[in-house]
Amino acid sequence: MKKLITLFCIVAGLQTMQAQKGLVVGANFMPMWSNIINQDTWGNGREYDYLPTFRTSFGLDVGYNISDHFGLYTGYWFTNLGQDYEDAYSSSEWERRLTLKYNIIPLMAKFNATGSTFNFIAGAGILFANLSEAEQEWLRDGNTFSQIIYNPFTMENFELGAPDVTERFADSDIFINLEMGARIIFSEKLFLDAALNFGYGLKDINNEDWQIENNSGIYDPSHNAFLGLRLGLAYVFLGD
């Protein structure tokens, strides 16, 4: 790691390039690993094995580089999160897939080094996420699973394996967001950011009417988390 940092510093010193201050507008795409920490199966009595889960995000960014090294940005992202599961019991193979679709407004601060075609970047901030839709696919031996069970909070029966489960999740979430990576400068106005991006949701994602205890009589709040590779192509307007 020390050798890589040293090499980076040497390369950074080989070139000089005009700093990119000004209004920044761009688009981003992020493939990510997604996770729901503490699964809620709404009282069916089982927790399934977790599968590696991959989702995507894309959107627009708008920001302002206040100085050669520091900027603020916001935007509007369309982000899919969720979790995939599988299990085997009762002589059957079970699969479950949850996809939570959020519209996200970021409020981020970003630092960037200067002086090279490739520069270090780091950012931190908050993501405000509004849930637009929650989808579920629950299969038993490849066929849609159907079971009617009772919700003790709503005092009504419901379809456990329903494909639309939006009402079972909270309307919003708030994420702590961190990123670190590199900025690739193509010209004085155009650049590409490539960064590892980590987010952790602070709120319980389950609706209050669906926070049902497990077989042990315990309810554990569920939280979103993700780790992705965020690619953002941006252009500087009104710069120095």
Q: What is the pLDDT of residue 46?
A: 86
The beta strands (E) that lie in 66-171 are given as 70-89, 92-112, 118-140, 143-144, 148-151, 156-159
The one-digit pLDDT tens for each residue of the chain (240 residues) are 544 444 334 333 333 344 467 899 999 999 999 999 999 999 888 889 999 999 999 999 999 999 888 999 999 999 999 999 999 998 999 999 999 999 999 999 999 998 788 999 999 999 999 999 999 999 999 999 999 999 999 999 999 999 999 999 999 999 999 999 999 999 888 999 999 999 999 999 999 999 998 777 889 999 999 999 999 999 998 755
Tell me whether strands 156-159 and 172-185 are parallel, antiparallel or unpaired.
unpaired
Closest among 105, 16, 112, 106 to 71, alpha carbons compared? 112
DSSP letters, 49-77, are EEE--EEEEEEEEEEEE-SSSEEEEEEEE
Identify any residues that bridge with 229 across adjacent strands, giving them in sequence order: 196
pTM: 0.88
Pairing between β-strand 54-65 and β-strand 22-37 as defined by DSSP bridges:
antiparallel
Q: How far is CA 136 from CA 84, 94, 97, 162, 166, in A?
A: 10, 13, 6, 7, 9
| CA nearest neighbour of 83 among 198, 208, 226, 230 | 226
In this prediction, residue 3 carries a pLDDT of: 44
In the chain, domain spans: 2-237
- What pLDDT score was predicted for residue 105? 98
What is the structure's pLDDT at 22? 87
Which CATH architecture describes the domain 2-237?
Answer: Beta Barrel (2.40)
Provide the residue type at 79 as one letter: T
